[in-house]
Chain A
């Protein structure tokens, strides 16, 4: 496992041209989480063990098939970071006792959905950061309990229609700021990423390869099934999430937050919303101007704070 890595990813053509993760997984067509995982896996490589919590990605490895060329361990919904703790500690013990060579060492990567990261698994994640566990955490955030049919989760955005918020105004709550919660633990690194911005994603993954300690990634994961749109729109919706300022790409380390890709001219949020069935009630049968304006004003307020430094 290398902890040094010169920055390779300057242009799109620097990106790996073939994928390491096997094909034929049972994820839905257009899965934004899988896209992020592809890029991540291409860069991290097979000297990894993915420690998984209950969620969509649990179905990647169904006996006797797996798309991973390295390790995989399913734990439970709440305790994947604790599973990573046991694996990392065991590897360190074996390295120390010379029962494992440095060449055989692996990077431990937790992979969970937002239901775990924003909710049930928060205590175990907080504990792992408290203990300064040397691991990577990827949350694929599809803004709901996607694997069970997209019920709202603590990651669901305001007004989104989900299986448990079917009313005319959608989900009444507001998406929790997991980036801030994680950053408040002062881990080595926290970043938001999205597969639709592969260079930003690749640079961040490359950066954390050279680091140790808790390295936390939240990937917005456009979800055709849960968000109700045609799978071919996943990349476009992902780009719009960034261009409208809905999903700020940023990173945290050493007490500072930096925005890594600031949209020069933010597009109106409705361009992002209107492509998704979960927000259709904002536009049909009657345009909910006040509802859209509220969402826009929250985005503007966020970026005003960023601009104010």
Chain B
């Protein structure tokens, strides 16, 4: 084992290298580009035995990753934001091929307006595709999650592709110390790629991804994929036990922080949850029984585990770094679904924050805690909130004033 100071992107590249990937179809997009640059460098210098090819789009890139995995090799790829959406037809399509491979998504807000900074609307768009989803909060977790994702995706009971998600800028460009397994140890954990029946070769006729006629066969294959993704819940637990035995780090499907006696709970995905973790410490110092839940595994959705962790608590704030237009936070809806109907379900509050990399301040976490307490006293969940400060609005008004002045000036001339 060696310890290196790595960005999230480099940690992702190391994850792919340690997983022994054979093939990397790539396409550059900010902020994931460093991943493919690192991999390209290693391949060029002969430090990594893999083939990399730059496709002309993410749509093609995901097709090639799927078709290569369908032809007997371990494939890896990475994208972000608009790229994920450009390839979205193929995200859904290759999941239906039941091809196990791993794709890293470096989360970034979606156009319009265009931004380079982080939020989760991109990855939420892949939510229903069949791709497994593991969300990371630290650079260490990224490198490890990629190894775990290959085991999970390639498991005989699962056989689905997986996305490992990390936040653009906050994690992709943040350097943290990362313990890297020896190649031999990582190989022993991940194992050889078993293509099972997915391999084109002479004298072995094989048709893949055929059309079906009628809803009966279609539904059958769709249900099979759904059940396979669900099966990944129990498989995940087996894999992380083994991972912990080998490497000493444990990655429960839901990361719990200060949950033992927590009455008020914050739920977040990804690296912004580290802000909530700090807030939990501060809240505890101020006498609150606060806790934090961070699902690592988002697909399959660990519904039972969420119920076990949250039933009996007073109130829960789900802070979504995404927004479903006309509905609100996606994670909030999913938690509501998980908790619905239980007698001792906590009150559930919805907050949208962190869109396009917008910070969430410690004061805001305290305000959220206050709202939870008031809601608990009233016995009624508060209305959903879009986090935005007075100061931000003032600054926005200044920008609008400039835009209007520019517009007026052009009209005059």
Contact = CB atoms under 8 A, between A and B. Distances in A.
Interface of A: 1, 46-47, 49, 51, 58-59, 61-63, 66, 68-76, 78-79, 81-87, 89-94, 97, 99-100, 103-106, 123-124, 126-127, 130-131
B65 interface: yes
A75 B63 contact: yes
A76 B59 CA distance: 10
Contacts of B207: 61, 66, 68, 71-73
B44 interface: no
B67 interface: yes
Nearest to B204: A104
Given A59-B211, A75-B209, A82 B64 contact: yes
A75 B56 contact: no
Helix, strand, loop or mixed for chain A's interface? mixed
Contacts of A92: 51
Nearest to A131: B53
A74 B210 contact: yes
B203 A104 contact: yes
A105 to B, nearest CB: 6
Interface stretch (B9-17, B68-76, B394-402): B68-76
A124 B60 contact: yes
Given A58-B211, A89-B64, A94 B72 contact: yes
Residue of B25, B56, B59, B66 with most partner-chain A CB within 10 A: B56
B177 interface: no
Given A70-B202, A90-B72, A75 B53 contact: no
A47 B203 CA distance: 7
B262 interface: no
A61 to B, nearest CB: 5
Contact of A86 (B59, B71, B202, B209): B71
A73 B205 contact: no
Helix, strand, loop or mixed for chain B's interface? mixed
Contacts of A61: 207, 210-211
Contacts of B119: none
A62 B67 contact: no
Nearest to A71: B200
Contacts of A86: 23, 25, 63-71, 75
A134 to B, nearest CB: 12
Given A86-B25, A94-B73, A68 B56 contact: no
Contact of A104 (B25, B64, B201, B210): B201
B164 to A, nearest CB: 20
Interface of B: 22-23, 25, 51, 53, 55-57, 59-61, 63-73, 75, 89-90, 93, 200-213, 217
Contact of A130 (B23, B56, B73, B93): B56
Q: Ordered nearest first, which 9 A-B pairs have the shortest CB separation? A: A86-B67, A82-B60, A127-B56, A90-B71, A86-B64, A86-B68, A79-B63, A47-B202, A72-B207
Contacts of B203: 47, 103-104
Given A46-B202, A62-B211, A76-B59, 20 more contacts: A61-B210, A71-B205, A72-B210, A73-B70, A75-B63, A76-B90, A78-B89, A83-B64, A86-B63, A86-B70, A87-B70, A87-B200, A90-B67, A93-B73, A94-B72, A103-B202, A123-B57, A124-B56, A124-B57, A127-B56
Residue of B63, B68, B203 with most partner-chain A CB within 10 A: B63
B353 to A, nearest CB: 36
Contacts of A91: 71, 200-201
Contacts of A97: 22
B201 A85 contact: no
A242 B204 CA distance: 38
B154 to A, nearest CB: 15
A70 B205 contact: yes
A62 B213 contact: yes
Residue of A59, A87, A103, A131 with most partner-chain B CB within 10 A: A87
Given A79-B90, A104-B204, A124-B60, A90 B210 contact: no
Nearest to B207: A72
A106 B201 contact: yes
Contact of A89 (B60, B68, B212): B68
7 contacts: A61-B211, A73-B200, A79-B63, A83-B67, A90-B75, A92-B51, A131-B53
Nearest to B97: A73
Contacts of B90: 75-76, 79
Contacts of A127: 55-57, 60
Contacts of B217: 63
A66 B210 contact: yes
Contacts of B61: 82
B48 to A, nearest CB: 13
Given A82-B64, A87-B71, A104-B203, A93 B212 contact: no
